[in-house]
């Protein structure tokens, strides 16, 4: 099952396309990171999936084929929007009560004890809570709905490092305990690197790269060799990003580990951040399509990932 599946999806605001020709399939059971610079279209994609915006082109389904924004979709997705909007004049208790009334499922006891553990007073108004507490309150409201998919849009933008750590720990806990699928966006890859096992890179309104982190790392290599030979060699490869020094050139290419390397060249595995940066530096490079997500061979969850992700 794909938790989010888009084909040819586009959204135009006035004359500008915030998102275009987006074709992507995010499978269930992952922590999927949507990464890209500001203005890449991450929020637009998430808003479309949450049913907050209607597409200008193409279509998007969620939770295995439900139209975005349909009753079934709304029931199964908990969406925590950017800056965690809440009614500032309502108390945390009122926000719980509000959310309970607006949903078919709501675990009041879980929500209350979670806020108790976090030291968030139920009587305090949402507007008077710190940024970290507001984010935790929003996450609590979302988790107490017991969603099948949790969507977090830039959840950590407002948080200090400790609050970020706590927040991500809570998210991972929910993932482990409930098997909820998670899609979260950020413009900082570093904060997602440890938790995400599925990556979607976006820039300039397009999806550049999408796939399981393991697959992506396994299908890219960093080749280092004499600068003089770089151009001739590069013609035969699919180069993502090339950087040349006086003597040595570095080519980040799409190639598996078993592909032969000419003499004088060395192949190294790439790290996730290195890979993402290479793509983001070349915004016009658009690589694998969404088919990969479906056709991907089953593989064990560990493998070289631990080593590659440091």
Partner 1 sequence: MTALSVPARPEEDVSLRPVPWQRMGWVTWRQHRATLAWVVVFLGVLAVLLYLAGRQLYSAHAAALAACQSASSPPCPGAIIAFNGTNGFLANGFMLQAIPPLIGAFVGAPLLARELETGTFRYAWTQGFGPWRWALAKLVPLAVLLATAAGVFSLMLDWYYQPYFVAANQNLSLTEYTPFFPGLFDLRGIGFAAWTLVAFAIGALVGTLIRRVVPAIAAALVAYAGLAFATSLWLRPAYMTPMVTSSVNVPGSAWVMSQWWTKGGKFAFSGWPPERLFAQYCPQGPPVAVGPGGKPKQVGLAECLTPHGYTQWTAYQPASRFWAFQWIEGGWLLVLSAVLIAVTVWLVRRRAT
Residue 53 lies near partner 1 (rule: CB under 8 A): yes
- C-beta of 30 vs 220, nearer to partner 1: 30
**Interface size with partner 1, residues (CB under 8 A):** 50
Minimum CB distance to partner 1 smaller for 141 or for 230: 141
The distance of closest approach from Cβ of residue 142 to partner 1 in the complex, given in angstroms and rounded to an integer, is 9
Judged by beta carbon, residue 44 or residue 203, the one nearer partner 1 is 44
Please tell me whether residue 169 binds partner 1 under the rule CB under 8 A.
yes
Q: Rounded to whole angstroms, how far apart are CA atoms 308 and 259?
A: 19
Taking a C-beta distance cutoff of 8 angstroms, is the pair 35, 211 a contact? no
DSSP states along 185-202? EES-GGGTTTT-SEEEEE
In degrees and rounded to multiples of 5, residue 295 shows phi and psi of -85, -5
Which CB sits closer to partner 1, 147 or 211?
A: 147
Q: How far is the CB of 189 from partner 1 (least distance, A)?
A: 24
Cα–Cα distance measured from residue 113 to residue 129, given in angstroms and rounded to the nearest whole number: 17
> Is residue 21 part of the contact set for partner 1 (CB under 8 A)?
no
State the binding string over 67-86 for partner 1 (x if CB under 8 A, else -).
Answer: --x-xx-xx-xxx-xxx-xx
CA proximity to 230, closest of 218, 220, 241, 219: 241
Indicate whether 44 belongs to the interface with partner 1 (CB under 8 A): no
Of positions 20, 30, 42, 148, contacts partner 1 by CB under 8 A = 148
Q: Give the helix ranges, DSSP H, for the chain.
A: 42-50, 71-76, 92-101, 108-118, 131-144, 161-178, 213-218, 227-234, 272-281, 291-295, 305-308
Pick from 8, 59, 117, 291: which binds partner 1 (CB under 8 A)? Answer: 117
Residue located via tokens 């599925």: 198
Residue from 2, 44, 61, 99 binding partner 1 (CB under 8 A): 99
Give the residue with the Cβ less far from partner 1, 175 or 234.
Answer: 175
Among 8, 37, 59, 110, binds partner 1 (CB under 8 A): 110
Q: Which is nearer to partner 1, 177 or 247 (CB)?
A: 177
Provide, rounded to whole angstroms, the least separation between the CB of residue 178 and partner 1.
4
Q: Determine which residue in the list 146, 250, 254, 292 makes contact with partner 1, applying CB under 8 A.
A: 146
Q: Which of 132, 113, 122, 115 is nearest to 94 (CA)?
A: 122
236, 68 contact by CB (below 8 A):
no
Contacts of residue 268, defined as CB under 8 A and 6 or more positions apart, other chains included, come to 221, 222, 223, 224
Shortest Å, Cβ 216 to partner 1:
29
- Our CB check for partner 1 shows the closer of 104 and 299 to be 104
Partners of 66 in the β-ladder: 62
Q: Which two structure tokens, joined as six digits, stand for 24?
A: 């992507």
Regarding 62 and contact with partner 1 (CB under 8 A), the answer is no
Closest approach, Cβ 308 to partner 1, in A, equals: 29
CB 287 within 8 Å of CB 240: yes
Residue 303, CB-side half-sphere exposure with 13 Å CA sphere: 13
How far is residue 297's CA from residue 310's CA, in Å, rounded to a whole number? 24
Which residue ranges make up the site for partner 1 (CB under 8 A)?
A: 47, 50-54, 69, 71-72, 74-75, 77-79, 81-83, 85-88, 90, 94, 97-99, 101-105, 107, 110, 113-114, 117-118, 138, 143, 145-146, 148, 166, 169-170, 173-174, 177-178, 180
């Amino acid at each position: 099952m794909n938790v989010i599946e888009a084909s040819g999806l586009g959204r135009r605001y006035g004359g500008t396309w915030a998102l275009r020709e987006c074709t992507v399939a995010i499978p269930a059971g992952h922590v999927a990171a949507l990464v890209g610079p500001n203005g890449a279209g991450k929020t637009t994609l998430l808003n479309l999936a949450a049913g907050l915006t209607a597409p200008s082109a193409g279509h998007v389904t969620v939770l295995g084929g439900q139209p975005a924004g349909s009753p079934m979709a709304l029931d199964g997705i908990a969406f925590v929007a950017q800056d965690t909007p809440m009614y500032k004049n309502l108390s945390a208790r009122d926000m719980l009560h509000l959310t309970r009334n607006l949903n078919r499922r709501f675990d009041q006891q879980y929500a209350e004890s979670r806020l108790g553990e976090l030291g968030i007073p139920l009587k305090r108004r949402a507007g008077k809570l710190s940024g970290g507490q507001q984010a935790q309150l929003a996450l609590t409201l979302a988790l107490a709905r017991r969603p099948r998919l949790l969507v977090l849009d830039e959840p950590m933008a407002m948080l200090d490092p400790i609050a970020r750590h706590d927040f991500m720990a809570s998210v991972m806990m929910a993932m482990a305990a409930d098997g909820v699928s998670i899609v979260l966006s950020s413009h900082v890859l570093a904060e997602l690197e440890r938790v995400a096992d599925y990556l979607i890179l976006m820039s300039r309104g397009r999806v550049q790269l999408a796939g399981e982190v393991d697959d992506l790392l396994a299908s890219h290599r960093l080749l280092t060799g004499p600068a003089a030979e770089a151009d001739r060699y590069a013609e035969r490869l699919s180069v993502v990003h090339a950087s040349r020094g006086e003597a040595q050139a570095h080519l980040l290419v799409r190639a598996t580990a078993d592909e032969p390397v000419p003499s004088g060249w060395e192949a190294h595995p790439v790290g996730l951040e290195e890979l993402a940066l290479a793509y983001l530096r070349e915004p016009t490079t658009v690589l694998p399509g969404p088919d990969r997500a479906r056709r991907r061979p089953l593989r064990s969850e560990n493998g070289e990932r631990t080593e590659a992700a440091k």
